[in-house]
Amino acid sequence: MKTTKIIGSRSRPSTPTLRFSPTAWAKLLFLRDYGRTEIGGFGISPADDLLYVDDVRLVKQTCSWVHVAFDDTSVAEFFDEQVDAGRQPEQFARIWVHTHPGDCAQPSAVDEKTFTRVFGRSAWALMFILAKRGQCFARLRFNDGPGGELVLPADVDYSRSFLGCDHQMWEQEYLTNVSPQQTNLVASRLSESANGSPFDEEDEWLDSWFDYTDDGDNEKETA
């Protein structure tokens, strides 16, 4: 699905839709195209409109064509920074954004495993993938009660103000956080399942992640 629809009103669409501000979308396109690997980060939303992404933030990560490994310390620091800024977990820790270097936005087996294992403790979570040629994929999953999931359209809300591009700042954010791995493309594809989840099962930052689940009664995952 190409993200080309223009939303002409500030009222929310009648159908649940993942919406990006023009600035957040421009930043995500820049980050997608800056390198030749996947990149991953988190969507930032206002408290009164959780399906509206007004910024995309990266954390330190090592990336290849098919793999993103987040640095546990960087993720924990990002969470603390967001809380200190007055945001609630559902504003910064529920929308997982990542890119695919090719033109297929469908989630891989690794993506599906990650979404289930890491985000399964939250009351809800959303996986968004942006590939080349504007192809994208968004799935909202509910984990409370009987659960359920819904594939959403994704659009750019051009009724919102465009704050302009800051290529220098976006480049600095990329260079500060993204460490590409120079791997053979064919070998990378063949080893995708061996690479495991972008959120490695041994990553210490998962302890910090589970601190930010919606249900405060849930205990942290233990080894």
SS3 121: coil
Amino acid at 139: R
- The candidate with the shortest Cα–Cα distance to 19, out of 49, 47, 57, is 49
Sorted by where each begins, the domain ranges of the chain are 18-211
Rounded distance between C-alpha atoms, residue 23 and residue 117, angstroms: 31
Is the predicted pLDDT of residue 195 greater than 70, yes or no? no
In tens, the pLDDT along 50-97 reads: 999 999 999 999 988 888 888 889 999 999 999 999 999 999 999 999
**N-term to C-term CA, the chain:** 40
> Is 170's pLDDT higher than 50?
yes
**What is the C-alpha radius of gyration for the chain, rounded to an integer number of angstroms?**
17
What gap in Å lies between CA 158 and CA 165, rounded to an integer?
15
pLDDT over 70 (residue 40): yes
Confidence band, pLDDT 50/70/90 cuts, at residue 181: confident
Query: What integer is the mean pLDDT of 165-177?
Result: 96
Please provide residue 190's backbone torsions phi and psi, each rounded to the nearest 5 degrees.
-70, -30
pLDDT confidence of residue 194: 43
Fold of 18-211: Cytidine Deaminase; domain 2 (3.40.140)
Residue 78: both structure tokens together: 């990002």
**Which residues fall within 8 angstroms of residue 133, CB to CB, at 6 or more apart?**
2, 103
Report which secondary-structure segment, H or E, holds 32.
helix 22-34
CB 23 within 8 A of CB 53: no
- Residues facing residue 130 across a β-bridge: 99, 136
Rounded to whole angstroms, the Cα distance separating 220 from 121 reads 10
User: Which secondary-structure segment (H or E) carries 149?
Assistant: strand 148-151
**60 close to 41: Cβ distance less than 8 angstroms:** no
Judge whether residue 189 has pLDDT over 80: no
